[in-house]
Amino acid sequence: MHSTQPYPEKCYLPFIFYPTAMWANQYGNSFIQEHLDLETPCGDYVVYISIPFCRVRCKGCPYFVDLLTKADPNNKELSYLDALIKDIRKWGQYPRWSKSRLRAIYIGGGTGSILTTSNLKRLLDALCESFPVTKETEITLEGNARDYDDEKMDYVASSPINRISLGVQSFDPEVLKIVGSPHAAEASEKVIRGLQQRGMVNLQLDMMFNMPGHNIDVWKRDLEKLKELGITHLTVYLYRIHEGTPQHKLVQEGRVPEMADRESPMVKMMYREARDIAKEMGFELYMHNHFCRPGFRSIYNDYNLEHVSDTLGIGAGAYSLIDNYRIGTSKEVEKYVETVNAGQHMVTTISEKMDRLNHKERYIMFTLQYFRIYFNRYRERFGTELMEDFGPIIQKLLRKNLAVMLEDRIEMTELGKEWFLNVVLEFVNPKFWGNKSSVDEPNWSMNVVLVDLIADNRERWLGPVEEPELTHVS
């Protein structure tokens, strides 16, 4: 370890599910009725809708679910959508949702925009009829530009959808080819302008850097392009190659160039360039990897992460947080359709019920996505003092210059932001580290990666234990 490094190894994962460990649901459908309180309103909440399809599998993507061809000979899209709408209507009937404040809906996946315009309309109609959607409810449609034609842009601009998230990744066709992406540089630009001409304002783009073959000049051109586009929100991800993805194999076989070292001056410069250009665009880095123009934060993230409200995830591949349980619906589309058509919700995995301490840990990890923890918000929420509950860990962060203590909050330093996920991992409950009991359970997307990470060796990411730091107070 370099002597100035705060931890042995940097962790590059972008965000976290917590608690991560989940197990196959042994109770079947009765879990919902017997273990979840669906009668009592929950205050604020958000809804996630999973559209588990992509046109192609991007070679390194951990979110890929199922392939949907344009011809769709077996009507996969229609049978999925019929089931999804049934499930939406059923979930919408519980007072926990109908009598609470719905803050945001996020239609993602996979690829939300892949649905035909008529199916998209059916989905929106079902959501608006089943849930208390108001003009203030943020409704995001995630996807990519290739899915949009004039008809879809017309519909989206006149529909309750008020935020578009486009995976652009790069405006360079060569780089897009190497990551095996369906995104087309010109299509992205055309659709952004097309939506703006139709009156859509709130446009968010996903970009990636340090893809194989990527270099600083291409990245600078990508960033310059962003300046011209008049978008409102930007996420910038460092490209990762997860084990088990086709890209991992291709790199191992030497068929795709290696990515530059993530600690190299070039990669650091790429990040700095993104930050500087975002600043020139009048954007602020308001949370990890997320930049926006003032007033355009993601409301979905604010409630999901900052306020740790309930999240109702509907559809194959979705995760929820309901009544202190995390629950997951498997990404097996056919099984989902069958289960819903048999009149049941599909709950594939469940976590332990979160206790008070896990709640506090989760709250801290999520609010740290915004780089700070306010003392009064913590006190109002839990009735206890942050420094009494997590004093030794916070002292360690202060000592290592990863955070500073201000009058009203603990705030991450630039060094803390650089070692972002390591800092967040400090708050994982000691009992979860090294616990392998859930590694073979059904998990998907980033959850698999995080389950494996926490079931592994704590020292790798956080270094040797300093005794008092392991005290988490409930």
Residue numbers at the binding site for ligand SAM (CB under 6 A)? 54, 58, 60-61, 63, 108-109, 111, 142-144, 167, 169, 183, 206, 208, 237, 239-240
CB of 207 to ligand SAM, least distance (A): 7
CB of 77 to ligand SF4, least distance (A): 15
Residue 237 binds which of ligand SAM, ligand SF4, none (CB < 5-8 A, kind-dependent): ligand SAM
CB of 113 to ligand SAM, least distance (A): 8
CB of 239 to ligand SF4, least distance (A): 11
Q: Select 123 or 350, whichever has its Cβ closest to ligand SAM.
A: 123
Handedness of CA 327, 330, 336, 338 (dihedral sign): negative
CB of 14 to ligand SAM, least distance (A): 7
Q: Measure the CA–CA gap between 448 and 452, rounded to whole angstroms.
A: 6
- Contact predicate 66/54, CB 8 Å: yes
Q: Select 208 or 226, whichever has its Cβ closest to ligand SAM.
A: 208
CB of 143 to ligand SAM, least distance (A): 5
Residue 64 binds which of ligand SAM, ligand SF4, none (CB < 5-8 A, kind-dependent): ligand SF4
Q: Which residues bind ligand SF4 (CB under 6 A)?
A: 54, 57-58, 61, 63-64, 110-111, 167, 182
Label residue 179 exposed, middle or buried (CB < 10 Å: 0-12, 13-18, 19+).
Answer: buried
Q: Measure the CA–CA gap between 338 and 127, rounded to whole angstroms.
A: 21
CB of 54 to ligand SAM, least distance (A): 6
Tell me, rounded to whole angstroms, the distance of Cα 365 from its chain centroid: 14
Residue 187 binds which of ligand SAM, ligand SF4, none (CB < 5-8 A, kind-dependent): none
Token pair of 361, please?
Answer: 């840990």
- Contact predicate 185/149, CB 8 Å: no
Q: Select 57 or 377, whichever has its Cβ closest to ligand SF4.
A: 57
CB-based closest residue to ligand SAM? 167
Residue 117 binds which of ligand SF4, ligand SAM, none (CB < 5-8 A, kind-dependent): none
The backbone torsions φ and ψ at residue 106, rounded to the nearest 5 degrees and listed phi first, read -125, 120
Q: Select 57 or 275, whichever has its Cβ closest to ligand SF4.
A: 57
CB of 274 to ligand SAM, least distance (A): 13
Token pair of 340, please?
Answer: 């819903």
Q: Select 63 or 382, whichever has its Cβ closest to ligand SF4.
A: 63
- Separation in Å, CA 167 to CA 144, 321, 356, 367: 5, 25, 37, 25
Q: Select 12 or 27, whichever has its Cβ closest to ligand SAM.
A: 12
Residue 142 binds which of ligand SF4, ligand SAM, none (CB < 5-8 A, kind-dependent): ligand SAM
Q: Select 79 or 289, whichever has its Cβ closest to ligand SAM.
A: 289
* DSSP notation for 28-84: TTHHHHHH---SS--SEEEEEEEE-EESS--TT-TT--EE--SS-TT-HHHHHHHHH
Q: Measure the CA–CA gap between 73 and 333, rounded to whole angstroms.
A: 16
Residue 206 binds which of ligand SF4, ligand SAM, none (CB < 5-8 A, kind-dependent): ligand SAM
Q: Select 21 or 251, whichever has its Cβ closest to ligand SF4.
A: 251
Residue 57 binds which of ligand SF4, ligand SAM, none (CB < 5-8 A, kind-dependent): ligand SF4
Burial state string for 285-311 with b = 16 or more CB within 10 A and e = fewer than 16: bbbbbbbbbeebbbbbbbbbbbbbbbb
Q: Measure the CA–CA gap between 210 and 232, rounded to whole angstroms.
A: 23
Q: Select 57 or 89, whichever has its Cβ closest to ligand SF4.
A: 57
Q: List CB contacts of 102: < 8 A, sequence separation 6 or more.
A: 45, 46, 47, 131, 132, 133, 134, 137
Tell me how crowded residue 111 is: count the other CB atoms within 10 A of its CB.
25
Q: Select 162 or 169, whichever has its Cβ closest to ligand SAM.
A: 169
Q: Measure the CA–CA gap between 382 and 57, rounded to whole angstroms.
A: 43
CB of 290 to ligand SF4, least distance (A): 17
Helical spans, DSSP H, in 135-184? 150-158, 173-178
Q: Measure the CA–CA gap between 152 and 120, rounded to whole angstroms.
A: 9
CB of 206 to ligand SF4, least distance (A): 8
